[in-house]
Structure 1
Amino acid sequence: MSEHSRALLAEAAGTFWFFCIGAGAIIADANGSGGGLVAIALAHGVTLAVAVSAFGPISGGHFNPAVTFALAIAGRHPWSRVPTYWIAQLVGGLAAGFALRGIFDFALAAVDKTHLGTPALANGVSVPIGIGVEALLTIFLVWAVYGTAVSPLAPRIAGFGIGLTVATDILMGGPLTGAAMNPARHVATAIPAAFFDNWYVYWVGPLLGAAVGGLSIRLLFAQLRELATPAKS
């Protein structure tokens, strides 16, 4: 198997793992398991941290089209591999969504209430605000991905900085938009649940945030690399 094929399998597997636990926690909470927002944030954050640590050496551990897009803009991922990474992430995500549909067949009320854990705008949150929140949270995520896992100056903390960022983003943005930060996260459960309200928010927002995050990386971290390079005598 080629290196690229292994990377695509890792992206699909990691996305499946991440979404199964993250969306599954939302459904379980709605079914009365308790825990609330903090438990949902931890389920997403801890799972992503471990998945990035496990599969990062194979594929980079993106599990998110917005992260792949941002790293391509930042010059740290080949553009030629963006489409195949996106396909792998969407396939892994959809597999998770359909798996959750079967797993929670006994809890149809919770499935219907949460639309299978699909992110959605809260009452009173407009589409522009929703896009802005998703973009802002994605910028924070992109900075965490690059600064803690991709940059040559990154501390060796595997995926845990990324997972913590996702968890805290959910604590802030979850009550507003669901804090997807990830187009595949929305698609994964929206299609099995047949719930497409404001679907474009979860593409436009994260990809806009990814573009801003990727461009800012080219500026900010390039300067940091220069500072870290010893001056020639």
Structure 2
Amino acid sequence: MAPSFTVTSRFHESFTRSALRSYLAEFISTFFYVLIVVASGMSSRKLMPDASLNPTSLVVGAIANAFALSSVLYNAWDISGGHVNPAVTFAMAVGGHISVPTALFYWVAQLIASVIACLFLKVIVVGMHVPTYVIAEEMTGFGASILEGILTFVLVYTIYAARDTRRGQVGSTGTLVIGLIAGAGVLAAGPFSGGSMNPACAFGSASIAGTFRNQAVYWVGPLVGAAVAGLLYDNVLFPSQDSDSIRGGVSNV
């Protein structure tokens, strides 16, 4: 009876007022994050038709990614934990910080928000295609997946460290650090795999563009990398003693 009771409790926990607020926060934050990231790519193409060959567009994308992620995480940090990324949610679920039903609702909110953000850009920016993440000719699908996985590992590891209250009071510095590492990831992988590190962002743009070519690259690598980062942080380097079942925060109380 105990296991059944636990499963039932976890399921009902996903429909509390706090949980519903978390889903809404994830939707809003993911919407604005994807909107800014994708719109920055469209802006670069508008100003520089050969944006793919101009290093300035890479810097623009990295800065937009860093600023946008830092800002939306700051907004959602105390409500949903500020995942804004299915890979982060997956890591939290694998590590037992949030329940599987809650993680699935997070995914739904994130993916729908991404699709709507890209659809919004397609509707209001007439005559321009919504850019998608592509793999460079020098990369194989496997290599691109490994690259995305490693970068997502670094991102999620940084997220775990930033939200660990044992390191001190969690504040705006944590969200800034996460944004900076995301921007660095774009600089490192932009010309090769796009530097997505976020399955929702890749899924939204691919859905509106109508092509899911190499979409597995932006799911398999990031999900594996995120899960390994979370498990390594929690169980090897900084074993946690307690966690928040909704936001996925790590604490020492």
Question: Fold-level match, TM-score > 0.5?
Answer: yes
Which position in structure 1 is the counterpart of 2:42? 27
Which position in structure 2 is the counterpart of 1:75? 96
**What is the letter of the counterpart of residue 194 of structure 1?**
G
Q: In structure 2, which of residues 190, 193, 217 is the aligned counterpart of residue 201 of structure 1?
A: 217
Distance in 1 (CA, whole Å) between partners of 2:213 and 2:90 is 24
Q: Is residue 131 from structure 1 mapped to residue 148 from structure 2 by the alignment?
A: no
Contiguous gaps of at least 5 residues in structure 1: none
1:86 positional shift = 0.4
1:223 positional shift = 8.2
Which position in structure 2 is the counterpart of 1:216? 232
Structure 1 residues 1-233: aligned runs within 5 Å: 2-32=17-47, 35-106=56-127, 108=128, 111=129, 116-153=130-167, 156=171, 157-218=173-234, 219-222=236-239
Distance in 1 (CA, whole Å) between partners of 2:41 and 2:124 is 13
Distance in 2 (CA, whole Å) between partners of 1:65 and 1:73 is 12
Residues 59 and 187 in structure 2, CA contact (< 8 A), matched pair in contact too: yes
1:88 positional shift = 0.5
Residues 160 and 230 in structure 2, CA contact (< 8 A), matched pair in contact too: no
Report % sequence identity: 33
RMSD between aligned residues: 2.0
Number of equivalences: 219
Residues 148 and 158 in structure 1, CA contact (< 8 A), matched pair in contact too: yes
**1:65-95 deviation line (CA, Å, top 9, x unaligned):** 1001112223332333110000000011111
Distance in 2 (CA, whole Å) between partners of 1:65 and 1:119 is 17
**1:188-230 deviation line (CA, Å, top 9, x unaligned):** 11011112111111111111111211211121121899xxx8x
1:180 positional shift = 0.9
**1:77 aligned counterpart, secondary structure:** coil
TM-score (structure 2 length as normaliser): 0.81
Worse-superposed segment, 165-174 or 28-37: 28-37
Distance in 2 (CA, whole Å) between partners of 1:7 and 1:223 is 23
Residues 72 and 82 in structure 1, CA contact (< 8 A), matched pair in contact too: yes
Distance in 2 (CA, whole Å) between partners of 1:179 and 1:71 is 22
* Larger helix percent: 1
**What is the letter of the counterpart of residue 83 of structure 1?**
L
**1:116-140 deviation line (CA, Å, top 9, x unaligned):** 1211111121011011001000000
1:150 positional shift = 3.9
Misfit runs of 4+, over 3 Å? none
Residues 162 and 178 in structure 2, CA contact (< 8 A), matched pair in contact too: yes
